[in-house]
């Protein structure tokens, strides 16, 4: 249909034109969906033809490629185009000026009330950003202060300057027209004047769109030669765009093996396979495709893809079948690991008592035998009497040396013994001072013992301050008891 024919017959054929254009979309979408199914079937057939089962185990059937999305023949957002016709209808509000001059000369001027408006428009857009339109409108109103009904009517022609943007196209309008009214109170009159406005178009489909207008109609006011009356309009309508071009999709990317994955993303463009890389399956990931792999679920080298049997999988030097524990590294002759029958953590080959668990008490814990702490060591377990310091300091008094020398002899006699030396104070003074003093005193005792040739790694210290009293700090005797040094036997490795 040509633009000239549409322009002449537009009022009679508007509805049928819009319905026919909408109906064109369904066959296009259906055809696109049909093509997608056909391509999918073809890909399955090609994959089935090219994939041969391996000699021993049949490979899993590749899943069919996903169906292609239906073709949407319109450009997203539908930006305005040139050389198109627009047909529309609208409704809204007419807000007449209170100083209008739309009245017969023999009638007194009275203001009109806001009225409901409706109308139609026809436009031609030679360019995407510029068009020319004509409108006819009618509105129902009342004359204020009277029971009289009023009917407005008008027609105008104007230019449209719009932004050719995709989703929302703002525009400006400007033109010339006539606005008239009929009522019993003010007769029949029509005034001419300029019209200006702004608005926006929002496309909904390839043909239909929503349009919003804000207008100002300038007509003479009722004071002759004294300016213009502003008659405002707020309009909302639908527009049909006729002969908008359709955007054809680009050709699909090449897919040589018809597996639904484009060659640009297909690592095996000539060998059909499922996603994501388009290659035939290789279940065990050994580089030998399942269709050629004699052992598709066990990795192995080409050409058959089967694993090479390792005669000594645990690498203990005892091969199968001589290795009674092929998955555990062991020792000859049976290849099994050395056990720990008594479960004390000491292997049987170095455990002096393999059937009796070691007593973990810090004394000879490496031989694997149960034992007791010697009496000489027990003497230095707990509070050690006879270790004295100068008041308020960590300086060891000379009368402490007999006890400390005895502790040195115990450590020399029992080299497997390790001690923790703990310092304690009374509650006199502030906590920070007591904590530091107790730590300094424990460190001083350790230093004395180390100076006598004992390995410092065998001694650990800790200052507890006044946190662990053993007597009442409210009495002098109790405070004296709380100022003490304790020795604790500890297991090797706990330092």
Lowest mean pLDDT among 248-252, 273-277, 356-360: 356-360
Asked whether the predicted pLDDT for residue 356 surpasses 70, the reply is: no
The residue-averaged pLDDT of 330-358 equals 67
For the segment 221-237, the average pLDDT, to the nearest whole number, is: 87
Residues 168, 118 share a domain: yes
C-alpha span between 32 and 358 (Å, rounded) = 81
Residue 447 domain-assigned (yes or no) = yes
Q: Assess if residue 352 is contained within a domain.
A: no
- Whose structure tokens read 């198109």? 84
Please provide the average confidence, as pLDDT, over all residues in the chain.
Answer: 79
How many structural domains are present in the chain?
3
pLDDT at 171: 97
Are both 62 and 144 inside the same structural domain? no
The model's pLDDT over 435-456, given as tens digits with 9 standing for 90+, comes to 999 999 999 999 998 999 999 9
- The 10s digit of each residue's pLDDT in 358-416 is 556 555 556 556 566 677 777 777 888 889 999 889 899 999 899 899 989 988 888 88
* CATH assignment of the domain containing 434: 3.30.1330.60
Give CA 335 to chain center in angstroms: 52
> Does 264 share its domain with 236?
no
Helix axis angle, 431-451 to 401-413, nearest 10°: 60
Report the alpha-carbon distance of residue 31 to residue 9 in Å, rounded.
32
Among residues of the chain, what percentage have pLDDT more than 90? 37
Report the 3 state secondary structure along the chain: CCHHHHHHHHHHHHHHHHHHHHHCHHHHHHHHHHHHHHHHHHHHHHHHHHCCCCCCCCCCCCCCCCCCCCCCCCCCCCCCCCCEEEEEEEEEEEECCCCECCCCCCCCCCCECCEEEEEEEEEEEEECCEEEEEEEEEEEEEECCCCCEEEEEEEEEEEEEECCCCCCEEEEEEEEEEEEEEECCCEEEEEEEEEEEEEEEEECCCCEEEEEEEEEEEEEECCCCCCEEEEEEEEEEEEEEECCCCCCCCCCCCCCCCCCCCCCCCCCCCCCCCCCCCCCCCCCCCCCCHHHCCCCCCCCCCCCCCCCCCCCCCCCCCCCCCCCCCCCCCECCCCECCCCCCCCCCCCCCCCCCCCCCCCCCCCCCCCCCCCCCHHHHCCCEECCCCCECCCCCCECHHHHHHHHHHHHHHHHCCCCEEEEEEECCCCCCHHHHHHHHHHHHHHHHHHHHHCCCCHHHEEEEEEECCCCCCCCCCHHHHHHHCEEEEEEECCCCC
- Is residue 327 situated within a structural domain? no
62 and 168: one domain?
A: no
Same structural domain for residues 236 and 90?
Answer: yes
Domain for residue 431, yes or no? yes
Q: Is residue 320 part of a domain?
A: no
pLDDT band at 352; cut points 50, 70, 90: low
pLDDT at 141: 95
- Looking at per-residue pLDDT, the higher value among 321 and 209 belongs to 209
- The model's pLDDT over 423-439, given as tens digits with 9 standing for 90+, comes to 999 888 899 999 999 99
pLDDT above 70 coverage of the chain, percent: 75
Across the strands, what pairs with 87? 122, 240
Range with the poorest average pLDDT among 49-58, 80-89, 179-188, 293-302: 49-58
393 with 477, same domain: the answer is yes
User: Does residue 95 sit in the same domain as residue 201?
Assistant: yes
Residue 343 banded pLDDT, cuts 50, 70, 90: low
Find the range with the poorest average confidence among 14-28, 297-311, 466-480: 14-28
Q: What is the mean pLDDT of residues 103-122?
A: 93
When pLDDT is cut at 50, 70 and 90, the band that residue 50 belongs to is very low
Tokens of 311: 């005669």
The verdict on 108 and 213 lying in the same domain is yes
Tell me the residue range of the domain where 193 lies: 84-242
Instruction: Tell which wins on pLDDT, 263 or 85.
Output: 85
Would 76 be classed as within a structural domain?
Answer: no
Same-domain pairing of 93 and 5: no
- Shared domain check, 217 and 201: yes
Q: Could you tell me which residue, 7 or 434, shows the higher pLDDT?
A: 434
Given 229, 261, 295, the domain boundary residue is: 295
Residue 105 shares a structural domain with residue 222: yes
Lowest mean pLDDT among 70-74, 287-291, 301-305, 327-331: 70-74
What pTM value is reported for the model?
Answer: 0.40
* Domain contains 303: no
Average pLDDT for 251-273: 82
Give the model confidence (pLDDT) of 134-174 as tens digits: 999 999 999 998 999 999 999 999 999 999 998 899 999 99
Tokens for 290? 């399942």
pLDDT tens-digit readout, 303-319: 888 887 778 888 787 88
Residue at 311 is within a domain: no
- Residue 462 has a pLDDT of 94
For residue 169, the tally of other CB atoms under 10 A from its CB is: 22
Structure confidence at residue 212 (pLDDT): 97
Other Cβ atoms within 10 Å of 466 Cβ, number: 21
Are 264 and 287 within one domain? yes
Residue predicted with more confidence, 349 or 307: 307
Q: Among 59-73, 188-202, 291-305, which is the least confidently predicted range? A: 59-73
d(CA 264, CA 256): 10
Average pLDDT over residues 240-253: 78
CATH code assigned at 178? 2.40.160.20
């Amino acid at each position: 249909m040509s633009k000239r024919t549409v322009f002449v017959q537009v009022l009679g054929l508007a509805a049928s034109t819009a319905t026919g254009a909408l109906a064109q979309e369904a066959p296009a979408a259906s055809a696109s969906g049909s093509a997608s199914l056909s391509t999918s079937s073809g890909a399955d057939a090609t994959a089935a033809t090219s994939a041969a089962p391996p000699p021993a185990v049949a490979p899993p059937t590749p899943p069919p490629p996903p169906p292609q999305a239906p073709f949407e023949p319109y450009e997203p957002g539908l930006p305005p185009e040139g050389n198109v016709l627009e047909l529309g209808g609208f409704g809204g509000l007419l807000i007449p000026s209170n100083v209008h001059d739309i009245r017969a000369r023999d009638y007194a001027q009275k203001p009109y009330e806001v009225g409901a408006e409706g109308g139609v428009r026809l436009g031609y857009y030679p360019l995407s950003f510029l068009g020319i339109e004509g409108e006819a409108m009618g509105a129902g109103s009342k004359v204020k202060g009277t029971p009289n009904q009023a009917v407005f009517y008008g027609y105008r022609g104007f230019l449209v300057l719009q932004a050719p943007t995709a989703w929302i196209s703002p525009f400006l309008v400007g033109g010339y027209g006539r606005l008239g009214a009929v009522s019993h109170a003010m007769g029949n009159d029509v005034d001419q004047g300029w019209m200006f406005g702004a608005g926006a178009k929002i496309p909904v489909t390839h043909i239909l769109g929503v349009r919003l207008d804000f207008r100002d109609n300038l007509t003479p006011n009722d004071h002759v030669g004294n300016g213009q009356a502003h008659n405002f309009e707020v309009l909302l309508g639908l527009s049909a765009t006729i002969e908008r071009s359709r955007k054809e999709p680009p050709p699909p990317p090449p897919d040589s093996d018809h597996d639904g994955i484009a060659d640009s993303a297909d690592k095996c463009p000539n060998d059909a396979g499922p996603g994501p890389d388009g290659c035939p399956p290789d279940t065990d990931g050994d580089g030998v495709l399942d269709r050629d792999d004699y052992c598709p679920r066990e990795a192995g080298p080409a050409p058959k893809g089967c694993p090479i049997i390792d005669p000594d999988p645990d690498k203990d030097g005892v091969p199968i079948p001589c290795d009674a524990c092929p998955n555990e590294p062991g020792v000859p002759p049976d290849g099994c690991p050395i056990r720990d029958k008594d479960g004390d953590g000491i292997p049987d080959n170095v455990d002096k008592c393999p059937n009796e668990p070691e007593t973990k008490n810090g004394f000879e814990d490496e031989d694997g035998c149960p034992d007791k702490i010697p009496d000489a060591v027990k003497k230095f377990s707990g509070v050690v009497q006879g270790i004295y310091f100068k008041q308020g300091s960590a300086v060891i008094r000379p009368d402490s040396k007999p006890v400390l020398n005895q502790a040195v002899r115990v450590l020399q006699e029992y080299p497997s013994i390790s001690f923790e030396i703990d310092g304690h104070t009374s509650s006199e003074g502030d906590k920070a001072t007591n904590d530091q003093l107790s730590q300094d005193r424990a460190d001083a005792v350790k230093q004395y013992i180390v100076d006598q040739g004992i390995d410092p790694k065998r001694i650990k210290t800790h200052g507890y301050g006044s946190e662990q009293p053993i007597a009442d700090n409210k009495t002098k005797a109790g405070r004296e008891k709380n100022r003490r040094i304790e020795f604790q036997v500890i297991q090797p490795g706990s330092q």
